[in-house]
Chains A and B, each alone.
Chain A
Amino acid sequence: MRNARTLLAAAAAAPLILAACGGEDDDGPVTLRMTIWSAAEEHLALFDAIAEDYLADHPEVEAIEFDPLPFDGYTSTLTTQIAGDNAPDMAWILENAAPDFVSTGALVPIGDTLEDTEGYEYDDLVPAATELWRHEDRLYAYPFSTSPFAVFANTDLLAEAGQPTPAELIADGQWTWDRVVEAGAAVRAATGSHGMVIRDFDYTGWDNLSTLWTGWGAEAWTDGGAGCGFDDPAMVEAMTFMHDAVFDAEAMPGPGTSADFFSGEAAMTVTQISRAGLLADAGFAWDLVPLPDGPDGQYSVIGQAGLGVLTVAPHPEEAADFLAFMTNPENSAKLAQYFPPPRASQLTAEDLAAANPLLTPEQLQATVIDRIDQGVTKPSHIGQAQIDQTVRAALDPLWTENADVAGALADVCAAVDPLLSE
Chain B
Amino acid sequence: MDTELETWRREWQSETAVAPDLRRRVERQSRWLKIGIAADILVTVVIGGGVIALAAREPQAHTLLLAAATWTFIAAAWTFRLTITRGLWSPSATDTATFVNLSIGRCRAQLKATLFGAGLYVCELAFCLGWIYRYSAPRAPLGNWLFGSIFNCLVWVFSLAFFIFLAWYRRRKRAELAWLLSLRES
The answer to whether A and B belong to the same complex is no
Interface residue ranges, B against A (CB under 8 Å): none
